[in-house]
Amino acid sequence: MTPNQNLKQYTLKEAAHYKIHGRTDETQEPLPLFFNGSGIELNVTGSELWLDIDVDFEVHEPWIWTAINGAFMSRQMLSPGTCSLCLFRGMSPDTVKNVRFFRELQAMSEDDACRLLVKGFRSDGAFLPVKARPFRLEFIGDSITSGEGTYGAEEDMDWLPMYMSVSHDYARMVSDALNAEYRLISQGGWGVLCGWDNDPRHNLPSCYEKICGLVSGEMNEKLGAGKPYDFKSWIPDAIIVNLGTNDASAFDQPAWTDPATGRTFKQHKEPDGTYRQEDILRFQQAVIDFLSMLRRDNPTSHIIWAYGMLGYDLTLAITDAMNTYQKAAGDTNIAFLQLPNTTESTVGSRMHPGENSHARAAKVITEYLHPILMSKN
């Protein structure tokens, strides 16, 4: 291949015009992409565009996907090291291309070495301003919101990053349908009160008020993950919470034991299979506390609790908790949405919702949100 002699290298500061998607410390250069759905959007002329990145991991390799002019173009695994990715070449140099580059893999709480840093670009064109979309949506959830199971065959059961995706995720579908920017805060296996295995450390509310409280380690601290998140910097029109699936699973799992202290934690069922009342109340208090946190941090956002893509076990507990919160706080800007359950025909890999299941859920959320967002415009 004959090298393009007209390519120029740009740092992020030199490029000037680009849009950052996802929570991150925007003062960092290179720029860390912590979350699935985080990335860069560009409007650029020229025949060729390359992205300079730095990647590392111990166990879970990052994946990325790209779109050009709104159309999905590619998806790939990243290898460790510093490299340049060609996002397009050979295109008409005078036309403006809208390019979106997103991280597919969720923030990896179990791999502190996992990183994806954007260093800059190489192009033979010009970078033009990226127009803001009219709406902003924030999605909070577990492996469903991380898009686990949206790639792969139904019989595939290995826990692998390649089966996890935002490109086939309901959050991306809703956001595209409503022409909205979106941010994800999600982690497989985590809940409102505890994880699927009764680990009380694995609750999303404990991480919500940091840039990326899901990750730890010296490298992530240097990248700004542990800094308090500035909620005024990006105000969502709506927040969609899809949590409770792992909290329901915890009732059927053994007690979790803290390896340091020997302390145990367990959500219990009674001998007749019903949920122990004190443990349901504990879960409901976690829902109430999280709603209170969300409202404190996001005073104007419409809050939706969307639930049901992997069963309806805790629907009544969630709606009762929401009613209790609503009466106590006088907050009328919240709602519960029951999402379609995953079926044999819509299941994906790892017994998780597949792409068609995500599409069904996205339709319900989109139809509900559309009139609410239009009334704000």
Q: Quick check: is 357 in a domain?
A: yes
**Average of per-residue pLDDT across 119-134:** 96
Give the domain extent around 311: 135-376
Cα–Cα distances in angstroms (integers) from residue 245 to residues 89, 120, 151, 194, 313, in the given order: 44, 39, 20, 11, 8
pLDDT at 280: 98
Cα–Cα distances in angstroms (integers) from residue 176 to residues 84, 145, 169, 184, in the given order: 28, 15, 11, 14
Q: Quick check: is 310 in a domain?
A: yes
Counting residues of the chain whose pLDDT is more than 90, the rounded percentage is 94
Closest-CA residue to 302 (of 337, 255, 251)? 337
Whether residue 261 is found in the same domain as residue 139: yes
Q: Quick check: is 86 in a domain?
A: yes
Whether residue 159 is found in the same domain as residue 108: no
Which amino acid is it at 198? N
- List pLDDT tens digits, range 182-200: 999 999 999 999 999 999 9
Whether residue 173 is found in the same domain as residue 273: yes
**Average of per-residue pLDDT across 5-16:** 91
Q: Quick check: is 1 in a domain?
A: no
Whether residue 143 is found in the same domain as residue 22: no
Please provide the average confidence, as pLDDT, over all residues in the chain.
96
Q: Which residues pair with 116 in a beta bridge?
A: 55
Query: How many residues does the structure list for the chain?
Result: 377
**Residue 54 Cα to chain centre, angstroms:** 21
Q: Quick check: is 3 in a domain?
A: no
H or E segment to which residue 303 belongs: strand 302-307
CB atoms within 10 A of CB 312: 15
pLDDT at 226: 96
Q: Quick check: is 55 in a domain?
A: yes
Asked which of 104, 128, 152 is the last residue of a domain, the reply is 128
What is the pTM for the complete model shown?
0.97
Whether residue 197 is found in the same domain as residue 244: yes
Q: Give the CATH number for residue 207.
A: 3.40.50.1110
Q: How confident is the model at residue 31 (pLDDT cuts 50, 70, 90)?
A: very high
Q: Quick check: is 2 in a domain?
A: no
pLDDT at 37: 95
Whether residue 271 is found in the same domain as residue 199: yes
pLDDT at 227: 97
Whether residue 287 is found in the same domain as residue 153: yes
CB atoms within 10 A of CB 278: 9
Whether residue 89 is found in the same domain as residue 146: no
Give 165's contacts (C-beta < 8 A, 6+ positions apart): 63, 65, 75, 104, 147, 150, 151
- List pLDDT tens digits, range 228-277: 999 999 999 999 999 999 999 999 999 999 999 999 999 999 999 999 99
Residue indicated by tokens 């949405």: 337
Whether residue 87 is found in the same domain as residue 210: no
Whether residue 101 is found in the same domain as residue 161: no
As a whole number of angstroms, the distance between CA 173 and CA 70 comes to: 12
- List pLDDT tens digits, range 287-316: 999 999 999 999 999 999 999 999 999 999
Residue 1: pLDDT over 80: no
Q: Give the CATH number for residue 61.
A: 2.60.120.260
**Average of per-residue pLDDT across 70-99:** 95
Asked which of 68, 95, 128 is the last residue of a domain, the reply is 128
Domain total in the chain: 2
Q: Specify whether the CB–CB gap between 212 and 225 falls below 8 A.
A: yes
Beta strand 302-307 pairing with 334-338: parallel
Whether residue 176 is found in the same domain as residue 263: yes
Q: How confident is the model at residue 173 (pLDDT cuts 50, 70, 90)?
A: very high
Cβ-in-10-Å burial (0-12, 13-18, 19+) of 184 comes to: buried
Asked which of 84, 101, 128 is the last residue of a domain, the reply is 128
Whether residue 51 is found in the same domain as residue 143: no
Q: How confident is the model at residue 25 (pLDDT cuts 50, 70, 90)?
A: very high
**Average of per-residue pLDDT across 201-214:** 97
Q: Quick check: is 58 in a domain?
A: yes
